[in-house]
């Protein structure tokens, strides 16, 4: 048995958590809607103002009637006195137009608003004078208004007999209205749901309303009505979490459309009170009363007035409990503060001793930091020197090896050249001998090979030299290489500078150019430096050092 209940708990606990999270989210949305009430109020007033401005520029009575009807719709659940005023204006224009349907529609609007204002005699007088047979197209509306009026009168009934009589009339008119609405229309579905509700067929009521609810536009005032009916069906099925959820949805719709005459928020306030959420209960009741007074909805004001003393008393009790807890907290905090003051006094004496020791340690630390900084600077210089020595050692090693190889190669080439000249001389080819001696071909060939070897050796030491050198210039046009070149004259000049040969005379001798030519090359590239010109050659010396 224990295993069975454990399994049930495991299966349904996540569902409960999800349901609770959904309700908490909806409550937060409702609270935010109440807090942002000015935004929705402004939107409502803007819509009304547009219609009023439109009426000012309208001269046609038919158009005026339509505008008055729209204004009545805007004020119907917002401000009953204004709704009554526009219903009368509609009837005046309808009478002028001699349109019986419009006249009776205006009368129904008058009767509906008078019911909200508690003017039950006046409302019933108007309904009794309407010849509904003459306008069969609004029979459904006529019976619907009559049903709502008698339901409100039943709430005010002084005796059980009167209440029963009014409820009987409510049911009769509701059943009649049901027969005159187009099938699957919104009024038809709402009255069909009410009928099923009265017959306690909740399992039929819920699918009907829940399937229809998503089809209702958010701007439709009846969206809140359908949500409220769903909540009531869940209440009778004793599914109270669902009842609460749909009441919240209904209240959000009411408030976002700036409806002032409603039921959902008042019902939700009572549930919050029963659950012990007194703050929300008080907040919702206060807002409900403010809206009922603004709308001048007497029935709603009367209903709320019965709740206010209960919730207000609970709210005051909670405040009193909170006040006592605050006093207890303050007394406890005061006693604790005295102990803390004593402890602080002892700590202060100890801190004075510690501060003296800290001061001495601080002086020692400062001296240590200074020494550490000096040591760090020394280490950096030493590292730099070591890196320079390593680089110089590597350069020397590579270039000495290359130099010895090159010398050996040149000795062999000179010996071969000597033999060729000797053969020409001994064989009597004097003209060829003279031509060979005068020709620069041998020298130029050797120079070209020499520079190629220099380029290869240098680039093996500094493989990224060309890219890094290019990054120091604003314009790299002068160092663009021709096909087959490893380096050109400009790059060789600064390659020698990178190797530590900065004397222009030595560079000129090495590259077999005039001193002025070397100077011009150096100046030209220095003028294209990306940074300060004076630091250009120093930056060249840093190529390949990761600095």
Per-residue pLDDT tens over the stretch 28-52: 999 999 999 899 999 989 999 999 9
Structure confidence at residue 491 as a pLDDT band (50, 70, 90): confident
What pLDDT, in 10s, does the model give residues 156-183? 777 889 888 988 888 888 888 777 877 7
- Packing angle of the helix pair 430-438, 298-426 (nearest 10 deg): 150
User: Residues 85, 262, 306, CA angle at the centre, nearest 5°?
Assistant: 105
Q: What pLDDT sits at residue 380? A: 66
DSSP bridge pairs for 222? none
Residue 300's pLDDT is 62
Q: What is the DSSP string of 144-198?
A: HHHHHHHHHHHHH-SSHHHHHHHHHHHHHHHHHHHTTSPTTSHHHHHHHHHHHHH
Report how far apart, in Å, the C-alpha atoms of 484 and of each of 77, 247, 451, 480, 481 are.
Answer: 91, 86, 13, 12, 8
Highest mean pLDDT: which of 280-284, 298-302, 390-394?
Answer: 280-284
Give yes or no for a contact between 90 and 109, defined as CB atoms under 8 angstroms apart. Answer: yes
Looking at residue 417, its pLDDT comes to: 65
The answer to whether 228 touches 247, Cβ cutoff 8 Å, is: yes
Mean pLDDT to the nearest integer, 107-133: 90
Question: Which residues have C-beta within 8 Å of that of residue 314, sequence separation ≥ 6?
Answer: 273, 278, 281, 282
Task: Please count the residues of the chain.
Answer: 547
Average pLDDT over residues 248-274: 88
DSSP letter for each residue of 382-425: HHHHHHHHHHHHHHHHHHHHHHHHHHHHHHHHHHHHHHHHHHHH
pLDDT in the model for residue 310: 63
Asked if the model's pLDDT at residue 90 lies above 90, the reply is yes
The model's confidence at residue 242, banded by pLDDT at 50, 70 and 90, is: very high
Mean pLDDT computed over 307-315: 62
Average pLDDT of every residue of the chain: 81
Q: Say if pTM beats, i.e. exceeds, 0.75.
A: no
Beta carbons of 504 and 519 less than 8 angstroms apart: yes
In which band, very low, low, confident or very high, does the pLDDT at 197 lie, cut at 50, 70 and 90?
A: confident
The pLDDT of residue 56 = 87
Which of 271, 239, 268 shows the shortest CA–CA distance to 252? 268
Q: 286: part of which helix (H) or strand (E)?
A: helix 278-295
What is the structure's pLDDT at 461?
Answer: 84
Confidence of residue 400 (pLDDT cuts 50, 70, 90): low
Consecutive H or E run containing 454: helix 441-461
> What's the rounded Cα separation, in Å, for the pair 545 and 419?
48
Q: What is the pLDDT, as a whole number, of residue 404?
A: 47
Distance (Å, whole) CA 454 – CA 451: 5
Which range of 310-314, 341-345, 372-376 scores highest in mean pLDDT? It is: 341-345
User: What is the residue whose two structure tokens read 């064989």?
Assistant: 427
Average pLDDT over residues 515-529: 89
DSSP notation for 499-510:
TT---HHHHHHH
pLDDT on residue 12: 44
- pLDDT at 93 > cutoff 90: yes
Spell out the residues 6+ positions from residue 332 whose beta carbon is closer than 8 angstroms to its own: none
Report yes or no: 176 and 184 within 8 Å, Cβ to Cβ: no
| pLDDT tens column, 21-33 | 899 999 999 999 9
Percent of the chain with pLDDT over 90: 18
Question: CA-to-CA distance for 258 and 252, rounded, in angstroms?
Answer: 10
DSSP assignments along 418-451, one per residue = HHHHHHHHHTT-HHHHHHHHH--HHHHHHHHHHH
Instruction: For residues 346-352, give the mean pLDDT.
Output: 79
Residue 222's pLDDT band (cuts 50, 70, 90): confident
**pLDDT tops 50 at residue 11:** no
pLDDT at 7 over 60: no
pLDDT at 388: 55
pLDDT digits (tens, 9 = 90+) for 404-418: 456 656 666 666 666
What pLDDT is attached to residue 102? 92
Query: Is 532 a residue whose pLDDT tops 60?
Result: yes
200 φψ region: left (φ > 0), alpha (ψ -120 to 50), beta (else): left
The pLDDT score that the predictor gives to residue 401 is 53
Q: pLDDT digits over 356-394, tens only?
A: 777 777 776 777 677 667 657 656 665 665 555 565 555
Element (H, E) at 356: helix 298-426
Task: Tell whether the model's pLDDT for residue 403 goes beyond 80.
Answer: no
Tokens for 494, please give them.
Answer: 């600064």
User: What per-residue confidence (pLDDT) applies to 9?
Assistant: 47
């Amino acid at each position: 048995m224990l295993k069975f209940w454990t399994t049930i708990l495991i299966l349904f606990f996540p569902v409960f958590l999800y349901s609770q999270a959904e309700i908490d989210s909806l409550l937060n949305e409702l609270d935010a809607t109440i807090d942002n009430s000015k935004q929705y109020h402004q939107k409502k007033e803007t819509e009304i103002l547009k219609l009023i401005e439109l009426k000012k520029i309208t001269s046609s009575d038919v158009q005026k009637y339509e505008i008055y009807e729209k204004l009545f719709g805007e004020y119907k659940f917002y401000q009953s006195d204004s709704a009554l005023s526009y219903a009368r204006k509609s009837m005046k224009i309808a009478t002028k137009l001699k349109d019986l349907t419009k006249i009776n529609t205006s009368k129904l609007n008058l009767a509906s608003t008078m019911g909200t204002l508690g003017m039950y005699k006046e409302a019933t007088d108007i309904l009794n004078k309407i010849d509904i047979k003459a306008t069969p197209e609004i029979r459904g509306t006529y019976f619907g208004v009559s049903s709502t009026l008698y339901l409100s009168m039943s709430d005010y009934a002084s005796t059980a007999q009167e209440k029963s009589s009014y409820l009987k009339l409510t049911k009769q008119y509701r059943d009649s209205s049901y027969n005159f609405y187009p099938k699957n229309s919104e009024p038809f579905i709402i009255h069909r749901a009410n009928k099923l509700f009265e017959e306690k067929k909740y399992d039929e009521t819920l699918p009907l309303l829940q399937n229809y609810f998503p089809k209702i536009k958010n701007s439709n005032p009846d969206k809140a009505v359908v949500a409220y009916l769903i909540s009531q069906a869940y209440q009778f099925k004793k599914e109270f979490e669902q009842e609460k959820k749909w009441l919240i949805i209904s209240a959000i719709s009411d408030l976002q459309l700036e409806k002032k005459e409603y039921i959902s928020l008042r019902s939700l306030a009572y549930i919050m009170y029963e659950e012990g959420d007194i703050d929300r209960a008080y907040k919702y009741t206060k807002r409900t009363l403010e809206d009922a007074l603004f709308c001048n909805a007497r029935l709603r004001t009367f209903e709320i007035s019965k709740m206010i003393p209960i919730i207000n008393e609970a709210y005051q009790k909670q405040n009193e409990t909170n006040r006592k807890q605050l006093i207890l907290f303050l007394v406890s905090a005061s006693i604790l503060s005295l102990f803390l003051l004593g402890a602080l006094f002892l700590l202060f004496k100890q801190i004075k001793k510690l501060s003296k020791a800290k001061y001495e340690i601080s002086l020692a630390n400062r001296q240590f930091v200074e020494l550490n900084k000096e040591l760090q600077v020394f280490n950096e210089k030493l590292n730099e020197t070591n890196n320079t020595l390593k680089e110089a050692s590597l350069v020397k090693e590579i270039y000495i090896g290359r130099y010895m190889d090159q010398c050996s190669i040149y000795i062999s080439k000179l010996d071969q050249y000597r033999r060729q000249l000797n053969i020409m001389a001994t064989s009597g080819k004097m003209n060829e001998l003279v031509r060979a001696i005068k020709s620069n071909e041998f020298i130029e060939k050797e120079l070209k090979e020499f520079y190629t070897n220099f380029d290869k050796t240098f680039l093996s030491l500094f493989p990224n030299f060309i890219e890094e050198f290019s990054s120091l210039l604003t314009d790299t046009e002068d160092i663009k290489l021709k096909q087959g070149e490893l380096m050109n004259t400009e790059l060789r000049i600064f390659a020698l500078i990178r190797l530590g040969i900065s004397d222009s005379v030595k560079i000129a001798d090495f590259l077999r150019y005039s001193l002025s030519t070397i100077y011009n090359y150096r100046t030209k590239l220095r003028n294209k430096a990306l940074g300060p010109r004076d630091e250009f050659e120093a930056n060249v010396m840093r190529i390949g050092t990761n600095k």
